[in-house]
Amino acid sequence: MPSFGTVRQDWKPGRLSADPSAYQDLRVAIFGGTGGLGRAITNALLGKGAQVAVVGRSLKDPPHPLRSFIPADLSSLNDSRQVARDLPVESFDAVLLTHGIFAGRSREVTPEGVEKDLATSAMSRWVIAQELLPRLGQDRPSDRQQPRLFVWGFPGGERDLDFTDVQSTRNYRWQTAHSNTVVFNEALVHHSAARFPELNVFGMNPGIIKTNIMAGVLGQSSFKLRAQQTLIGLLFQSAEAYAEKVLPLLVHPALEHRSGALFNRHAQPIEPNPWLIAGNHCDQAVEAAESLTARILD
Ligand SMILES: NC(=O)c1ccc[n+]([C@@H]2O[C@H](COP(=O)([O-])OP(=O)(O)OC[C@H]3O[C@@H](n4cnc5c(N)ncnc54)[C@H](OP(=O)(O)O)[C@@H]3O)[C@@H](O)[C@H]2O)c1
């Protein structure tokens, strides 16, 4: 059963800051580290001396001695599983799942037959987690903190999911399709926290930040996208500022044994989605994700 961990009750106010030496020799894998928030976190980590394995479609940055790059199309569940299988996560301290898209205005389906947003932003993460978590950090020295998995999305708000139409085949709306991915990602946090007590699993809600995430809805290079990005850039924090707030969560001892916690845009703990943790909704989400991914994987 999910633990629905929360750290709010005894969390000390104020921002965490970590010992700079904690990042030296840290090994992190970032799915989606080629763009947006994942890229900002990658660059912040490299600046502090951590080693980062980046998984994504195309690397935009010049070579860095501490960064490796694994190209992959994470809209494919079979490719996602293969990349996760090939990654030597036994020696890694943390894995960050930041890859994702916003569904387009009309429904798109991947060659594997999954609604595109659901496949890229949620189901690929279920497949990756299933593949990585049993091995994560297993070969590290025993005095290290428990390995950590961070799942980005928009957890914590109240939203539901129609279990009879998780693939948005009826009355497609991009907002609903994306909302479904949010529920599945939070369920992944609760489920993994309960299933792997030897790990620490966290959900991340960054709030609104200027990135490329709306390109699928507004059109890559469109005027609407540029206008929206300009407005968001003026009103909200940058990806780089957010990355600096998040970095201590990767290493800080305050997060040890607080698996299942969710964090907001200031890296402060938030409560879980009340609908998801009510009744058996989380179990239903787990069942739906496991049966969908099992159907697709070869
Ligand atoms: N930005 C926000 O305001 C906001 C708000 C709420 C939640 N979030 C969540 O934060 C996370 C990160 O979003 P972001 O804003 O950083 O998005 P972003 O700027 O669009 O970056 C998305 C990342 O996902 C990768 N990606 C997308 N499709 C892929 C595919 N088929 N195969 C491999 N990689 C793929 C991209 O790789 P390439 O660059 O190589 O294509 C990029 O690295 C997501 O979970 C998002 O839902 C963001």
The number of the ligand 1 atom at minimal distance from the alpha carbon of 39 is 43
Task: Using alpha carbons, select from 172, 147, 152, 49 the residue that is nearest to residue 101.
Answer: 152
- Pair of tokens at residue 225: 């996208």
What integer pLDDT is reported at residue 4 of this predicted model?
67
Q: Could you give the CA distance from residue 79 to residue 123 in angstroms, rounded to a whole number?
A: 12
Q: How large is the C-alpha radius of gyration of the chain? A: 18
Helix (H) or strand (E) holding 212: none
What integer pLDDT is reported at residue 24 of this predicted model?
94
The number of the ligand 1 atom at minimal distance from the alpha carbon of 178 is 47
Q: Could you give the CA distance from residue 234 to residue 160 in angstroms, rounded to a whole number?
A: 31
Task: Using alpha carbons, select from 195, 193, 32 the residue that is nearest to residue 100.
Answer: 32
CA 9 to centroid of ligand 1, rounded, Å: 31
What integer pLDDT is reported at residue 214 of this predicted model?
86
Q: Could you give the CA distance from residue 45 to residue 32 in angstroms, rounded to a whole number?
A: 14
What integer pLDDT is reported at residue 7 of this predicted model?
63
What integer pLDDT is reported at residue 257 of this predicted model?
82
Cβ neighbours for 158, distance < 8 A, ≥ 6 positions apart:
273, 274, 275
What integer pLDDT is reported at residue 86 of this predicted model?
98
pTM of the shown model: 0.97
Q: What is the pLDDT along the chain (298 residues), one digit of tens a residue?
A: 556 666 666 677 677 888 999 999 899 999 999 999 999 999 999 999 999 999 999 999 999 999 999 999 999 999 999 999 999 999 999 999 999 999 888 999 999 999 999 999 999 999 999 999 999 999 999 999 999 999 999 999 999 999 999 999 998 999 999 999 999 999 999 999 999 999 999 999 999 999 988 888 888 888 998 998 899 999 999 999 999 999 999 999 999 989 999 999 999 999 999 999 999 999 999 999 999 999 999 8
Instruction: Walk me through the domains of the chain, giving residue ranges and CATH numbers.
Output: 20-296 (3.40.50.720)
Q: Could you give the CA distance from residue 96 to residue 280 in angstroms, rounded to a whole number?
A: 27
Nearest CA to ligand 1 atom 24: 99
Q: Could you give the CA distance from residue 236 to residue 293 in angstroms, rounded to a whole number?
A: 36
Say which DSSP state 151 is in.
E
CA distances from 147 to 11, 29, 150, 237 (A): 21, 12, 10, 28
Q: Could you give the CA distance from residue 283 to residue 179 in angstroms, rounded to a whole number?
A: 18
**DSSP assignments along 226-273, one per residue:** HHHHHHHHHHS--HHHHHHHHHHHHH-GGGTT-TT-EE-TTS-EE---
292 in Cβ contact with 114 (< 8 Å): yes
221 in Cβ contact with 240 (< 8 Å): no
Q: Which residues are near ligand 1 (CB < 6 Å)?
A: 32, 34-38, 56-58, 72-75, 98-101, 120-121, 152-154, 206, 208-209, 211-213
154 in Cβ contact with 182 (< 8 Å): yes
Say which DSSP state 118 is in.
I
Nearest CA to ligand 1 atom 8: 153
∠ CA 131-132-134, rounded to 5°: 90
CA 98 to centroid of ligand 1, rounded, Å: 6
CA 88 to centroid of ligand 1, rounded, Å: 23
CA dihedral 113, 116, 119, 120 (to 10 degrees): 150
Say which DSSP state 200 is in.
E
What integer pLDDT is reported at residue 287 of this predicted model?
98
235 in Cβ contact with 257 (< 8 Å): no
CA distances from 185 to 11, 151, 180, 286 (A): 23, 7, 9, 10
Q: Could you give the CA distance from residue 129 to residue 185 in angstroms, rounded to a whole number?
A: 11
